[in-house]
Amino acid sequence: MPAACRPGTAVAAAVVIGVAVVLGWRSMQRVVVAVEAGTPGGPLLGPRVRAWYKQAIGPVEDALVAWGVHPDALTWAQLGVSVLAGAAFAAGAVFLAGWLVIAAGTLDVLDGGVARRTGAASRHGALVDSLVDRYAEFATFLGLGAFFRRSWVLAAVAVACFGSLMVSYTRARAEGLGLTMQEGSVQRPERYVILGFGAWLSGLVAHLACALRGTPTHAVLAAAVVLLALLSTWTAVQRARHAVRKLDGNGRP
């Protein structure tokens, strides 16, 4: 829970975020994508949003490449930031945790981009990246669980954590059987967005409502966690059904 009600700071943060959203929306309209509509069963974040975000963090990627930063360093930094996000959740610093989740997601995008551009992409790096991603997600969910330890939302955190791991496991298992698996409404970027945006928005609402009601509320974060639990589970089932259909179509031994 917030240490103190700070509605003034919350309003200032909301204004800064509002300006950033307007500027971001305007630049997103200028992004040209080959295919506008998302594919059925494809990720919730469409190609325009993904292209815009890659463009927005492009200068950071350029700087990292120019400085010769190794992609493995970014992967480990992602784990460190995710642990910090989990610690922030556990300490009740929800707004901070939300932005740390978004920072971790950005590092997750950057490590792959830097690896491809520097020619450092390798099977070893791909394996380490996948494993670190799971630990990073778990660290964040652990902190989130500590935050909701006395609430029914803890059950939703557990389902969201398991669902997120199952989304990745289903893909890994299917690809181990020789299938390609790009389907899934809520993949890792969507999970970062739902949790990160849900958390910082909840932090703002908590401080604003705290001034009006006298007590803070994190209903927004609870709703985001429930949404994440539902969508992650749905995506894991969606992928499993798709994999089974493909295997049946290919003919089982």
> CB of 47: closest distance to other proteins in angstroms?
20
Region of 3-11, 35-43, 44-52, 157-165 interacting with other proteins (CB under 8 A): 3-11
> CB of 83: closest distance to other proteins in angstroms?
15
Regarding 195 and contact with other proteins (CB under 8 A), the answer is no
Regarding 94 and contact with other proteins (CB under 8 A), the answer is yes
Instruction: Please state, in angstroms and rounded to a whole number, the distance separating the CA atoms of residues 22 and 115.
Output: 32
Site string for other proteins, 23-52 (x = CB under 8 A): -------x----------------------
105, containing H or E segment: helix 94-118
Instruction: Please state, in angstroms and rounded to a whole number, the distance separating the CA atoms of residues 103 and 80.
Output: 11
Regarding 60 and contact with other proteins (CB under 8 A), the answer is yes
Which is catalytic among the residues 108, 111, 129, 133?
A: 133
- Burial label for 119, CB within 10 Å (0-12, 13-18, 19+), is exposed
Between 212 and 253, whose beta carbon lies closer to other proteins? 212
> CB of 28: closest distance to other proteins in angstroms?
14
180 alpha-carbon distance from chain centroid: 22
The answer to whether residue 248 is catalytic is: no
Region of 154-162, 167-175, 199-207, 230-238 interacting with other proteins (CB under 8 A): 199-207
Region of 15-23, 152-160, 167-175, 243-251 interacting with other proteins (CB under 8 A): 15-23
Q: Which of 49, 93, 153, 194 binds other proteins (CB under 8 A)?
A: 93
Half-sphere exposure of residue 105, counting CA atoms within 13 Å on the CB side? 21
Regarding 22 and contact with other proteins (CB under 8 A), the answer is no
Q: Is 4 helix (H, G, I), strand (E, B) or coil?
A: coil
Closest CA to 130 of 173, 185, 101, 184: 173
- Do residues 68 and 40 make contact, with C-beta atoms less than 8 angstroms apart? no
Regarding 205 and contact with other proteins (CB under 8 A), the answer is no
Regarding 100 and contact with other proteins (CB under 8 A), the answer is yes
Which sign does the torsion angle of CA 101, 165, 116, 53 carry? negative
Q: Which of 44, 69, 77, 91 binds other proteins (CB under 8 A)?
A: 91
- Do residues 62 and 115 make contact, with C-beta atoms less than 8 angstroms apart? no
- Burial label for 82, CB within 10 Å (0-12, 13-18, 19+), is buried
Q: Where do contacts with other proteins occur on this chain (CB under 8 A)?
A: 2-3, 6, 9-10, 12-13, 16-17, 20, 30, 56-57, 59-60, 62-63, 88, 91-100, 103, 200, 203, 207
User: Looking at the annotation, which residues are catalytic?
Assistant: 133
